[in-house]
Amino acid sequence: MLVMFYIMYFCGLWVFCSKRKHLLMTLLSLEFMVLILFMILYYYVNLIEGELYMTMFFISFAVCEGALGLSIMVSMIRMYGNDYFSSFCLLQC
């Protein structure tokens, strides 16, 4: 079962590395990888019969990371009209 989690994680990593054109696809693949890491952490904590406080901290940080990524994407769409990485220069202020 744990091998399936690692395969899913590397599929998300592959999508993150291959789909560099749109910001939305990179954010979705990052969230997918974070959710897989959450499932791995939950599996290990249940395996050692520990407390689930760490998983709550992890999922709250994952939600904050997702909200930050979406706010960056919304501001980028408002400024440039799309979510292509090639439509703007990263060196401009």
Pick the closest to residue 35 from 1, 7, 5 (CA basis). 5
Q: Which of 15-19, 68-72, 82-86 has the lowest mean pLDDT?
A: 82-86
Which domains are assigned to the chain? Answer: 2-78 (1.10.287.3510)
pLDDT number for residue 90: 59
For residues 43-63, give the mean pLDDT: 91
CA distances 72 to 4, 20, 68, 83, Å, are 32, 16, 6, 10
Name residues whose C-beta falls within 8 Å of residue 54's C-beta, 6 or more positions apart in sequence.
41, 45
In angstroms, the CA 68 to CA 71 distance is 5
In the predicted structure, residue 55 carries a pLDDT above the cut 70: yes
Residue 29 phi, psi (nearest 5): -70, -35
What are the tokens at 8? 């899913």
Whether residue 39 has pLDDT greater than 60:
yes
What is the pTM assigned to this prediction?
0.83
For 6-37, write each residue's pLDDT tens digit. 899 999 999 888 877 888 888 899 999 999 99
The one-letter amino acid at 39: M
